[in-house]
Amino acid sequence: MLREKLTYANVMATIAVFLVLGGSAYAATQLPKNSVGAKQLKNGSITPPKLSGAAKKALQGAKGATGATGPQGPAGAAGATKVVVRFGPVAVGQSVASCQSGEVATGGGGEALEAETWLWFTGPVQGNGQVPTSWEANATDASNTDTSVQAYVICASP
């Protein structure tokens, strides 16, 4: 059975593998210490990832002087200092919670209020590419009947 699968190519490939492995083992164990030098190395063959930590440290020079400080940049816009959670009405199918004037929606969610129901969508409400100010939540049951749901929105203002 083995003779049927034995081909010239298989035999030659096996011999080649042994020759390559044997040569590498010889080079690793029989070459004298420091026998590889500048003549044997090609330009660019030694890269920083191939260097040891000690070699990298030896190649670093002294730290230079700190440069002059640049000019002060303009002040940024005021961030949100007031964060509140606002709840929408309990509704069947869809509830929308809205921020008050001057607030923006930064997140939100909803709660399905009946047994064996789930939220099938929650997300920000924004019209005409503007910043969202509301959050929508939708709930249904296994028979795709709308169920009670309540949305909430996290609102922030300066």
Q: What is the pLDDT of residues 74-127, one digit of tens each?
A: 998 877 889 999 999 999 999 999 999 889 999 999 999 998 999 999 999 876
In whole angstroms, give the CA distance from residue 118 to residue 120: 6
Check pLDDT > 70 for residue 24. Answer: no
Say if CB 101 and CB 137 are below 8 A apart: no
Mean pLDDT of 131-136: 92
Residue 118, classed as helix, strand or coil, is: strand
Q: What does the pLDDT look like over 25-84, one tens digit per residue?
A: 555 566 677 767 777 777 877 788 888 888 888 888 888 899 999 999 999 887 788 999
Mean pLDDT of 135-141: 95
In whole angstroms, give the CA distance from residue 156 to residue 158: 7
How many whole angstroms from its chain centre is CA 43?
37
Tell me, what's the pLDDT at 50?
Answer: 80
Check pLDDT > 80 for residue 19. Answer: no
Say if CB 140 and CB 153 are below 8 A apart: no
